[in-house]
Amino acid sequence: MPWDVGDVDRHKKGLTDAQKKRWVAVANSVLERCLNEGGTQSECEAKAIRQANSIAQRDHVVSFFKQKKEKQIAYGVVFEPEYVDADDEWISKDDIEDAAHEYLINYRNVKFSHTQGINDKVKVVESYIAPLDFKIGEHLIKEGSWIVAVKVFDGKLWKEIGKSLVGFSAGGTAHYVE
């Protein structure tokens, strides 16, 4: 069954209208793909709901872990597997991989504070799933984490990296780069 925005509150409460639209787009896309790959209706619906909830979740932020200052590139984790967020929710490795691919296929938008589009100032230059646990400085990156790097073309915005802009977020209300 395709979902619409009226269905969202049964699965995820407290979302804005824009977040509900995103939830619906993700859930319906995941459901369709899962069914096309031979999944059952019940398992595909559960997977779609989990992934849509994860994409729309608030307050899941992992700090930037690396910066190439000379190139104005910032690296960070978007999702970490089994990380329990402020809403007591988490996302599996498989669902993270699906979310990362869905983002590259259908979205590729970068926003400031989840509202103001800044695609003219920031571009995603890398996106990958960590193939194993590894450490960069003091930061442990868990296998299955979704890592993104953005090139920042705006000097004023670059100066905010690590200050008011502290990490990536797949959804929320704080001041982070998505």
pLDDT in tens, 3-49: 999 999 998 888 888 778 778 877 887 788 788 889 899 998 988 88
User: How high is the pLDDT of residue 111?
Assistant: 65
Length in residues, the chain: 178
Average pLDDT estimate for 61-84? 78
Q: What's residue 116's pLDDT?
A: 63
What is the pairing mode between strands 122-129 and 62-68? unpaired
Distance CA 172, CA 152 (A): 21
On whether the CB atoms of residues 178 and 113 are closer than 8 A, the answer is no
Question: Average pLDDT, stretch 80-100?
Answer: 73
Q: What is the DSSP letter of 115?
A: T
Domain ranges of the chain: 5-56, 62-168
- Which pLDDT belongs to residue 166? 66
Contacts of 73 (CB under 8 A, 6+ apart): 67, 125, 149, 150, 151, 152
